[in-house]
Amino acid sequence: MQTYPPLTSTPNVSKVIKAHDKPIGCIATHIRKKVLATGCDDATFKIFNMDNYEELGSGSGHTDYISGIDIHPKGLFLATCSGDSTINVNDLSTGKNKITYKDFKSIVWDVKFHDTGDFLLSCSGDSTVRLFDINMDKARNIYYGHTDAVNKVNFQPFTNYFASCSADKTVSIWDMRLGLTVQTFYGHLNVVNDVIFNTRGDMLYSCDADGVVKAWDIRKNKEMYLKIN
């Protein structure tokens, strides 16, 4: 049996935040500020100050559960997506809706802001990924390539590339500007539920419905096989 070294200190687990009365489907934190946002099945979101655990605000605007949430890198906006096939961009300071996008034909599963804060990436059950220009308040590009629902998207840190994963069992890397697939990784045998880059952006990790996590070397364009004792 695998053993692990003891913790150097005992974590404080006494603080519990009762954020919602229904299941929380997604959470997000600010890249620098101690702010946490939660999205709930009751179609509402809440924002918390993690210094004192106090609620800073809340909001709604959707008619179905919130499936994805993200905080603008400059702390200006909060983006939410929903089972009602819409995306809301809310003013983080007031919680009020600023923009609503109704471009999708199916549930929107995820939203992610670009590092610059100028663009918002999203993916849907209609098998597409869409890029929205926050400053121009419009869709900038639609990315076609997956043959089933796209479950998650994530930007490669500080680049114009992003990754997507799908129920079609594939993981793809895209050039945001050109709208083209740069790499596609095959190997999962079931729905791929999430995908994320490491901080350097040279490795990509994905997980699927079989409980499998795969590591992909971006530079060598191949799967990395890890030895587990």
153-204 residue pLDDT tens: 999 999 999 999 999 999 999 999 999 999 999 999 999 999 999 999 999 9
Write the CATH number of the domain with boundaries 21-144. Answer: 2.130.10.10
pLDDT in tens, 28-48: 999 888 999 999 999 999 999
Domain ranges across the chain: 21-144, 151-229
Q: How many CB atoms lie within 10 A of CB 51?
A: 9
The CATH code belonging to domain 151-229 is: 2.40.10.480
What type of residue sits at position 121? L
Residue found under tokens 């096989």: 225
Based on the number of CB atoms within 10 Å of its own CB, is 134 exposed (0-12), middle (13-18) or buried (19 or more)?
Answer: buried
Note the pTM of the prediction, 2 decimals.
Answer: 0.88
| Domains 21-144 and 151-229 agree in fold | no
3-state secondary structure at position 127 = coil
Give 46-105 as a DSSP string: EEEETTTTEEEEEE---SS-EEEEEE-TTSSEEEEEETTS-EEEEETTT--EEEEE---S
